[in-house]
């Protein structure tokens, strides 16, 4: 025979009950926090402006002085050329030489 007590007289019952209750609480809290919030009650003053699609590329340059704009454009061109040269060399080393 097995000598186990079954019923509310065991002290492990309350611990099991508390663990189950805690699990259910965390499960419901995770579900609640995972739900998307409705957009109707968002304050537009607290939201960041949408910068994903600027109206024009020139909009980014509005606050820069002309010399800084020119230097930035040259830096971008030099960086693109350096990247192209690097990838061309990598491509030759990997695929074109036998």
Block mean pLDDT (10 aa), the chain, length 98: 56 82 96 81 67 58 84 94 93 78
Q: Please, what is the end-to-end C-alpha distance for the chain in angstroms?
A: 78
Q: How far apart are CA 52 and CA 54, in angstroms?
A: 6
pLDDT value for 23: 97
pLDDT value for 29: 95
| 65, 67, 70, 76 alpha-carbon torsion, rounded to 10° | -80
Contact 60, 54 (CB under 8 A): yes
pLDDT value for 65: 87
pLDDT value for 16: 87
pLDDT value for 78: 96
> What's the pTM value of the predicted model, to 2 decimals?
0.37
Q: Which of 82, 61, 81 is nearest to 72 (CA)?
A: 61
Contact 72, 64 (CB under 8 A): yes
Contact 66, 73 (CB under 8 A): no
């Amino acid at each position: 025979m097995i000598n186990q007590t079954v019923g509310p007289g065991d002290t492990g019952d309350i611990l099991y009950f508390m663990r189950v209750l805690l699990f259910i609480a965390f499960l419901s809290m995770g579900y609640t926090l995972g739900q998307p919030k409705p957009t109707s009650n968002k304050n537009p003053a607290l939201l960041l402006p949408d910068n994903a699609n600027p109206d024009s590329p020139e909009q980014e340059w509005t606050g820069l002085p002309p010399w800084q704009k020119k230097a930035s454009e040259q830096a971008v061109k030099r960086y693109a050329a350096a990247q192209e040269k690097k990838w061309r060399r990598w491509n030759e080393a990997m695929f074109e030489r036998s």
